Amino acid sequence: MTTFFFVRHGVTDHTGHKLSGWMEGVHLNTEGRRQAEATAEALAEVELKAIYTSPIDRCYETAEAIAVHHPKLELVLDEGLGEVGYGKWTNRTLKSLMKTKLWEVVQRRPSAVTFPDGETFRSVQYRAVNSVEAIREKHRHGAVCCVSHGDVIKLVLAHYLGVHMDLFQRIVTAPAGISALSVGDGDPHIWSLNAMPMTIPGRAI
Protein backbone atom coordinates (compact mmCIF):
# COMPACT_ATOMS: atom_id res chain seq x y z
CA MET A 1 0.00 0.00 0.00
CA THR A 2 1.35 3.41 -1.00
CA THR A 3 0.09 6.53 0.75
CA PHE A 4 0.16 9.68 -1.37
CA PHE A 5 0.13 13.17 0.06
CA PHE A 6 -0.99 15.41 -2.80
CA VAL A 7 -0.10 19.05 -2.19
CA ARG A 8 -1.27 21.96 -4.28
CA HIS A 9 1.33 24.71 -4.66
CA GLY A 10 1.04 27.92 -2.64
CA VAL A 11 -0.39 31.10 -4.09
CA THR A 12 1.27 33.35 -6.64
CA ASP A 13 0.29 36.82 -7.82
CA HIS A 14 -1.69 35.06 -10.58
CA THR A 15 -3.73 32.79 -8.30
CA GLY A 16 -7.42 33.60 -8.58
CA HIS A 17 -6.80 36.15 -11.33
CA LYS A 18 -5.02 34.51 -14.28
CA LEU A 19 -4.39 31.07 -15.71
CA SER A 20 -0.64 30.58 -15.40
CA GLY A 21 -0.50 27.18 -17.06
CA TRP A 22 3.06 26.23 -17.95
CA MET A 23 4.37 29.81 -17.88
CA GLU A 24 7.88 30.24 -16.51
CA GLY A 25 8.74 32.87 -13.95
CA VAL A 26 5.49 32.69 -11.96
CA HIS A 27 6.80 32.26 -8.42
CA LEU A 28 5.25 31.91 -4.99
CA ASN A 29 4.55 35.29 -3.46
CA THR A 30 5.05 36.10 0.23
CA GLU A 31 1.76 34.46 1.22
CA GLY A 32 2.50 31.46 -0.96
CA ARG A 33 5.86 30.92 0.71
CA ARG A 34 4.20 31.15 4.10
CA GLN A 35 1.63 28.56 3.02
CA ALA A 36 4.32 26.25 1.68
CA GLU A 37 6.25 26.47 4.94
CA ALA A 38 3.12 25.69 6.97
CA THR A 39 2.40 22.66 4.80
CA ALA A 40 6.02 21.57 5.12
CA GLU A 41 5.69 21.72 8.89
CA ALA A 42 2.54 19.59 8.74
CA LEU A 43 4.38 16.91 6.74
CA ALA A 44 7.64 17.16 8.68
CA GLU A 45 6.97 14.06 10.79
CA VAL A 46 5.70 11.91 7.91
CA GLU A 47 8.30 9.32 6.91
CA LEU A 48 8.34 10.13 3.22
CA LYS A 49 10.05 7.78 0.79
CA ALA A 50 10.16 10.36 -2.00
CA ILE A 51 9.00 13.82 -3.04
CA TYR A 52 7.73 14.26 -6.59
CA THR A 53 6.86 17.60 -8.12
CA SER A 54 5.52 19.20 -11.24
CA PRO A 55 8.50 20.91 -12.91
CA ILE A 56 6.70 24.28 -12.92
CA ASP A 57 8.27 26.96 -10.69
CA ARG A 58 5.46 27.40 -8.17
CA CYS A 59 5.27 23.66 -7.49
CA TYR A 60 9.02 23.20 -7.32
CA GLU A 61 9.30 26.02 -4.78
CA THR A 62 6.55 24.45 -2.67
CA ALA A 63 8.31 21.08 -2.86
CA GLU A 64 11.60 22.71 -1.84
CA ALA A 65 9.98 23.91 1.38
CA ILE A 66 8.76 20.37 2.11
CA ALA A 67 12.19 18.90 1.32
CA VAL A 68 13.84 21.05 4.00
CA HIS A 69 12.38 18.65 6.58
CA HIS A 70 13.49 15.59 4.59
CA PRO A 71 17.14 16.35 3.79
CA LYS A 72 17.93 12.82 2.59
CA LEU A 73 15.43 13.10 -0.26
CA GLU A 74 16.05 14.73 -3.62
CA LEU A 75 13.17 16.29 -5.50
CA VAL A 76 12.03 14.26 -8.49
CA LEU A 77 10.55 16.21 -11.42
CA ASP A 78 7.54 14.54 -13.01
CA GLU A 79 5.95 16.15 -16.06
CA GLY A 80 2.92 13.92 -15.62
CA LEU A 81 2.09 16.01 -12.55
CA GLY A 82 2.40 19.22 -14.58
CA GLU A 83 -0.37 21.75 -15.06
CA VAL A 84 -3.13 21.48 -17.64
CA GLY A 85 -1.95 22.70 -21.03
CA TYR A 86 -4.36 25.60 -21.40
CA GLY A 87 -3.03 26.63 -24.80
CA LYS A 88 -4.30 30.06 -25.85
CA TRP A 89 -6.00 30.47 -22.47
CA THR A 90 -2.60 30.69 -20.77
CA ASN A 91 -1.91 34.07 -19.12
CA ARG A 92 -5.48 35.27 -19.71
CA THR A 93 -7.52 36.71 -16.85
CA LEU A 94 -10.30 34.60 -15.37
CA LYS A 95 -12.62 37.59 -15.79
CA SER A 96 -12.12 37.54 -19.56
CA LEU A 97 -12.39 33.75 -19.80
CA MET A 98 -15.71 33.74 -17.95
CA LYS A 99 -17.20 35.60 -20.93
CA THR A 100 -16.35 32.82 -23.39
CA LYS A 101 -18.72 30.03 -24.44
CA LEU A 102 -16.14 27.43 -23.46
CA TRP A 103 -16.14 28.56 -19.82
CA GLU A 104 -19.58 27.12 -19.14
CA VAL A 105 -18.51 23.81 -20.68
CA VAL A 106 -15.41 23.76 -18.46
CA GLN A 107 -17.66 24.10 -15.43
CA ARG A 108 -20.53 21.82 -16.48
CA ARG A 109 -19.11 19.22 -18.88
CA PRO A 110 -15.32 19.24 -18.58
CA SER A 111 -15.00 15.84 -20.25
CA ALA A 112 -15.97 17.55 -23.52
CA VAL A 113 -13.41 20.36 -23.28
CA THR A 114 -10.42 20.86 -25.52
CA PHE A 115 -8.54 24.05 -24.69
CA PRO A 116 -7.60 26.12 -27.78
CA ASP A 117 -4.21 24.75 -28.93
CA GLY A 118 -4.08 22.93 -25.59
CA GLU A 119 -4.98 19.70 -23.81
CA THR A 120 -8.21 17.98 -22.89
CA PHE A 121 -9.07 17.21 -19.28
CA ARG A 122 -9.26 13.57 -20.37
CA SER A 123 -5.63 13.56 -21.49
CA VAL A 124 -4.52 15.36 -18.32
CA GLN A 125 -6.24 12.82 -16.11
CA TYR A 126 -4.74 9.97 -18.13
CA ARG A 127 -1.15 11.23 -17.86
CA ALA A 128 -1.47 12.21 -14.19
CA VAL A 129 -2.95 8.87 -13.13
CA ASN A 130 -0.26 7.08 -15.16
CA SER A 131 2.37 9.01 -13.20
CA VAL A 132 0.73 8.13 -9.89
CA GLU A 133 0.65 4.45 -10.82
CA ALA A 134 4.30 4.56 -11.93
CA ILE A 135 5.24 6.15 -8.61
CA ARG A 136 3.28 3.45 -6.79
CA GLU A 137 5.28 0.77 -8.60
CA LYS A 138 8.51 2.37 -7.37
CA HIS A 139 7.28 2.76 -3.79
CA ARG A 140 5.03 -0.17 -2.99
CA HIS A 141 5.08 0.60 0.71
CA GLY A 142 5.23 3.81 2.71
CA ALA A 143 4.38 7.43 1.92
CA VAL A 144 5.29 9.78 -0.91
CA CYS A 145 4.50 13.44 -1.50
CA CYS A 146 3.36 14.75 -4.89
CA VAL A 147 3.25 18.51 -5.42
CA SER A 148 0.99 19.53 -8.28
CA HIS A 149 -1.79 21.85 -9.43
CA GLY A 150 -5.42 22.27 -8.46
CA ASP A 151 -7.14 20.80 -11.52
CA VAL A 152 -4.59 18.01 -11.84
CA ILE A 153 -5.02 16.91 -8.23
CA LYS A 154 -8.81 17.07 -8.54
CA LEU A 155 -8.70 14.90 -11.66
CA VAL A 156 -6.51 12.32 -9.91
CA LEU A 157 -8.75 12.25 -6.84
CA ALA A 158 -11.86 11.93 -9.02
CA HIS A 159 -10.33 8.88 -10.70
CA TYR A 160 -9.60 7.10 -7.43
CA LEU A 161 -12.93 8.13 -5.91
CA GLY A 162 -14.72 6.66 -8.90
CA VAL A 163 -16.28 10.04 -9.65
CA HIS A 164 -17.12 10.92 -13.26
CA MET A 165 -14.92 13.65 -14.68
CA ASP A 166 -17.93 15.89 -15.25
CA LEU A 167 -18.25 16.13 -11.44
CA PHE A 168 -14.60 16.77 -10.65
CA GLN A 169 -15.14 20.51 -10.19
CA ARG A 170 -17.02 19.67 -6.97
CA ILE A 171 -13.71 18.69 -5.36
CA VAL A 172 -11.90 21.57 -3.66
CA THR A 173 -8.11 21.88 -3.64
CA ALA A 174 -7.03 25.09 -1.94
CA PRO A 175 -3.49 26.47 -2.27
CA ALA A 176 -1.11 24.40 -0.10
CA GLY A 177 -3.97 22.06 0.82
CA ILE A 178 -3.11 18.40 1.41
CA SER A 179 -5.12 15.41 0.22
CA ALA A 180 -4.15 11.94 1.42
CA LEU A 181 -4.81 8.81 -0.62
CA SER A 182 -3.71 5.20 -0.18
CA VAL A 183 -3.47 2.99 -3.26
CA GLY A 184 -2.74 -0.71 -3.30
CA ASP A 185 -3.90 -3.70 -5.28
CA GLY A 186 -7.38 -3.44 -3.78
CA ASP A 187 -9.71 -0.49 -3.38
CA PRO A 188 -8.07 2.91 -2.90
CA HIS A 189 -8.77 4.80 0.31
CA ILE A 190 -9.14 8.57 0.65
CA TRP A 191 -7.96 9.70 4.08
CA SER A 192 -8.45 13.42 3.65
CA LEU A 193 -9.47 15.97 1.01
CA ASN A 194 -7.99 19.45 1.00
CA ALA A 195 -6.85 19.31 4.62
CA MET A 196 -5.15 22.46 5.71
CA PRO A 197 -1.85 22.13 7.59
CA MET A 198 -3.35 22.54 11.04
CA THR A 199 -5.72 19.59 10.58
CA ILE A 200 -3.74 17.05 8.55
CA PRO A 201 -4.30 13.52 9.94
CA GLY A 202 -1.98 10.55 10.03
CA ARG A 203 1.23 12.49 10.56
CA ALA A 204 3.05 9.34 11.67
CA ILE A 205 2.22 7.33 8.52
CATH of the domain at 54: 3.40.50.1240
The reported pLDDT for the residue numbered 205 is: 29
pLDDT band at 80 (very low <50, low <70, confident <90, very high): very high
Within-domain flag for 53: yes
Q: What are the Cα distances from residue 102, in Å, to 89, 109, 112, 166? A: 11, 10, 10, 14
- Quick one: average pLDDT of 7-35? 96
Per the domain annotation, does 202 fall within a domain?
A: no
Please check the confidence at residue 184 and state whether its pLDDT lies above 50: yes
pLDDT at position 195:
87
Query: Is residue 145 within 8 Å of residue 51, measured between CB atoms?
Result: yes
- Smallest CA-to-CA distance from 64 within 48, 53, 79 is with 53
Which of 135, 171, 143, 165 has its CA nearest to residue 54?
A: 135
Predicted confidence (pLDDT) at residue 47 exceeds the cutoff of 80: yes
In a domain? residue 17: yes
Residue 201 has pLDDT above 50, yes or no: no
Does the pTM exceed 0.75? Answer: yes
How far is Cα 163 from Cα 106, in angstroms, rounded to an integer?
A: 16
Using a pLDDT cut of 70, give the percent of the chain over it: 96
Asked, for residue 205, whether it belongs to a domain, the answer is no
Contact 43, 5 (CB under 8 A): yes
When the pLDDT of each residue in the chain is averaged and rounded to a whole number, the result is 94
The number of folded domains in the chain is 1
- Please check whether residue 34 lies inside any domain of the structure: yes
Mean pLDDT computed over 44-52? 97
Q: Which domain holds residue 126?
A: 2-196
The answer to the question of residue 201 being in a domain is no
Q: Residue 11 domain-assigned?
A: yes
Please report whether residue 179 resides in a domain: yes
